[in-house]
Structure 1
Amino acid sequence: MIMMNKRTWMHLLVGTALAVVLALLVNKTSDVNHAEYGEIGSLLRQLKQIDAEWNVDVLRSKTGLNASYDPVASPLPVIESLDELLRSKTNLFWRGHGDSGERIVPLLDNYRQLMGSKVELIDRFKSQHSILRNSTRYLPSAAAEVLAAWQAGERDGLVSAVDRVLVDTLVYTDTPEAGLVARVDESLAQLRKLAKSLPAETAERVAGFSAHAETVVRQQQLGDKLLKQLAVLPTARALDELADMHALEHEKLLVSQQTWRWVLVAYSAALLVALGWFAWRLVASYRMLARVNQELTRSHAELKESQVHLVQSEKMSALGQMVAGIAHEINTPLAYVKGTFEVLREQVAPVAQLAANSVQFAQMLHLPNEQRDRAQLQTLAHQFDKSTREVSGSRVMDEMGQLLADGIHGIEQISEIVMNLKNFSRLDRAKVSEFAVHEGLESTLLLARNLLKNTVEIRRELAFDLPKIQCSPSQINQVFLNIITNAVHAMPAERAEPGVITLRTAREGDDMVRIEIQDNGSGIPANVLPKIFDPFYTTKPIGKGTGMGLSISFKIIQEHGGKILVDTEPGVGTVFSILLPLRPREPGKPDNAGEPALLAA
């Protein structure tokens, strides 16, 4: 059983391993989610397009084509949202693909870092360009304030110098060339030189105007520097690298998937071959099992038949041991019947003479009067009267009636013994019928009467209100006879104490009856008690027993769904308790008889 369990576990482990390998191969060959891959490509294209449009909006803001900075600021939330979506889609798509995800994630991080730098530069550009635009717008007003503050002579020289600074600065903001910076510086130098000869208030205004012009130039230069930094940020190239890496890893994934599909095909073919082989083995095993089952069924039927004949042999053995006593039991009423019929033969002679005289006298009476012989008629009448008186006076008829009644009683005794022998010795294949327990005990005592006579006293404590049980009567009677015979053998005739066998019957619960057969014999030794139900085990001398009586009895009670309990004490006696159900056990119902209960005091 342990080996079978180990083999079963081994088969389960092998089957589980094969199933796990198959599941892994199926997972390796599962279709790539092309929809998710397409979404990743679409996100990359959207980011690249937004990045290009963002650069254009920055230039438009620089040149003043945009009325506000909203076009520069508006792409930022969209870019952040698309970046988060791209990262989540990428992680979801490449999850479980090992190195592919490890190669793509750094590119995503690089793109995010570049985009962060670009956002920072654009924020700085917005601040710088705001200052530039405000300073540029205020510059003409500052020039007008300078001119308004100076109304005296030499005004034309001041106007010319201020106009020159204003024009050169505005031209530089429109066309920021390096040569124009020098012109603006030269114009500012001349204006500052001229301001030294001007009144303090006018000189102060000239200094403010010059400072605004220098601020415009510095902010213009700073804006040009920021635009150059934005221009060299490789965000578009980072997106291209990310898209190329996605395409490359996707191609590798498709190639790997195709390879694993070929592996799956080969593995599936091997599994099919193995399953075919196992199926062939299973069919062969099933056929062999069917043949073995047929042989077991046939062997079981033969065994059941052997058991029937074994039971029959034990019956014959028991009858053989009692044949002398049974012959004596039959011979006694037979001798009585024989004597009765011999007496009847002697008593029949007067009756026969009376019948003969009656016939002669009746024939004479039937003759016509002229043919009658009166003397002969008187003689016949005298003989008839004499025979009648003899039969009537000797009470022959009463004696014959009594003799016939005694003869019939003797024949009935013989018939009862023969009928019990017939019922006991017939080849019984468990024919079930209603059975009265006390009648079975009495029938068994009748068969064993010669064995019990003058040696054992029978005491009865029977419950005659017991319901009849459904069983095989001859088999139950055989059990009774086996146990009673063993009880008699346990009480040797030479001992001083008289032998007593007590028969008890009672209800046992709602669905069983109890039959107890108790003796005051020698009891069963403790070393013998565990073996009493073993086949062919006997403590009797050779020729006195087969060793099958109690074994067959236990088997009979077990097949009836009952139990045998044994309680013994050496030197005191033994009680065999038989428990039988009122109804036979249902086919297929578990047998609760189990092992016999053996108790030794």
Structure 2
Amino acid sequence: MAYQQLSQVVALDTERPESDALSRLSMLALTSGLRSGLSADALRYHFLAEQLSEVVFHLDGSGRLTFLGPAWTSLSGQSVEEVLGKSLVEVMHPEDRPRVQAVLDALAARVQASFRLELRLMAASGPLWVELAAHSSPTGEGEVLGTLADLTEHRQMQARLQLSDRLATLGMLVPGFAHDMNNPLAFMLANLDYLLSSMEGVAGGTAPERVAEWREALGEVREGAERLRQIIGQLRSFRADSNQGPVDLNQVLDGVGQMVASTLRSRGRLVRDYGARVLVAGNEGGLRQAFLNLVLHAVLALPEGDTEDNEVRLVTREDGEGHVVVEVHDTGAAIPPDVLPRLFEPFFSLRGTEAGPGPVLSVCRDILRGLGGSISVTSSQERGTVFRVTLPMAS
């Protein structure tokens, strides 16, 4: 009984507002009274459970929760008293319950002394991945002691590492792909140019309207081939390099615009609002990666289908103090105020897609800081979102 009463008191005490001093004093007095009935060893373990970020729990011989550390509320969004007395199996995702029951049965039968599983907890906000660590109690009465740890950040990191590995592999293969594709494209372009230039002589007595149609069709084919050549060129240049030197930011942004064109096509339009030609000292590959993440983030902020009213606007200008300012505007939904401070956290991604996590803006910040630059963001429902990058001009 002491476990259950102490769990409830600890939970209530952590949820009381600071202004309710009298209630807090009453709770502390009740807590002290309950603790006074515990042994010194039990008090030590209770204190440790209250300090850990993991949720410490105790199950009786029938698998029901008799103690939960106060971290339970922040993890699950539920109060401790809501779940005390329930089976551990009940608070797990229905698909994972058989695994949890199997673990408890094995512990009860002393087939194994401890287990670690990754499974889903039914939190207030929905399923939440946690690591369950369960251990047989040394009392020999079928009790179980264990912890629940939030795996959200761990899983995000795993997803990022897997994505990075795929991109690294792709980066190694792209030069070979680009070379193999570039050669036939060069033949196509050369032959199309030849056909266009000799069309008049070959057509002979064909009607002029027919010849014009042929020329238009060949021109469209050539335009498509030229577009492929440009895309391949951008892929070949999108790789890590250590060269430092003057970089034309307008050209970098043009290349990024070409790379996001297919994603942007169904969402809106790209507007270029460039000032004078501006050069910065830096790494072209790093700058391309930073601005690709920023522009892709802006593109994904636009809803599908509304191509007339939505746009991504790229602005470059000098600030008159030796810096270049680049702004990436989008007309999408505003970023929630509570999310803004997290945008540049490692592994945090706001704009995910069906293909996987969205761009990570902490990468942009780190690249830009390494070049002596800075980045800031503003967002509102009326004006959309603006990322503002400042970089020192090349001397």
For normalisation by structure 2, the TM-score amounts to: 0.45
For normalisation by structure 1, the TM-score amounts to: 0.31
The structure in which a higher percent of residues are helix is: 1
